[in-house]
Amino acid sequence: MFVLASASKARQKLLEQIALNHKVIVSDFDETQLLEPDPILRVKLLAKAKAFAALEKLTKGDQALNTFQALLGCDSLFEFEGEIFEKPIDKAEMMSRWKRMSGKSGLLHTGHYLMSLDNSRSNIKSISLNKFSEGVVSTKIEFICLSNIDILKYAEMPEPYNCAGGFAIEGFGGLFIKKIDGCFSNVVGISLPWLKTNLVKFGLSELLFDR
């Protein structure tokens, strides 16, 4: 079985979309501990930290480790004009950002940290972690020009406050995206092509297409 170290419903839906049988373990990692200003390095470090935090929780659970084959930690953020835009904290911040983003483009970065769990081991100290892969996939997103009414209506919805950058491409936010350059699923939260490539590299292709 595959472990997803994320509470994101969007990421879970992506795995369901490809019929990847998985267990969700929320890492509960405190992101305020990491103050890295570089967006690409930040998502890379956060993905790794969340993966290891979830692994630690997994080893303390009731289920034996030998039932799991791989674990994925992810983190996403939106980079706009050199600034990191994570989830907006309130309506004022969300509207201010969208007024700047209207008619312009930015980059959605998702960090991935995938580890292969050694099925023959039973605890975290003896797990072989020589099989791991980390990477950041970036997708350029161009927005249409939004009216103040558009921004206000979106700001009154719960959706943008749960998403990096303040929008969900698979939700109402898709109305505002003119085009993307890069991986679509990466914007949702996991680059599925990246995941497939690395599962195959680890010899875990049997996890895919398992219907």
CB-count exposure of residue 71 (10 Å: 0-12, 13-18, 19+): buried
Residue ranges of the chain whose pLDDT lies below 50: 120
Count of CB atoms within 10 A of residue 30's CB?
Answer: 9
- Architecture, CATH, for domain 2-207: Alpha-Beta Complex (3.90)
pLDDT at 124 (0 to 100) = 54
Residues 111-123 have pLDDT tens digits of 999 998 865 455 5
Residues 193, 182, 76, 97: what is their CA dihedral angle, to the nearest 10 degrees?
-160
Positions marked active-site: 75
Q: Write down the pTM of the prediction.
A: 0.91
Q: Where are the domains of the chain?
A: 2-207
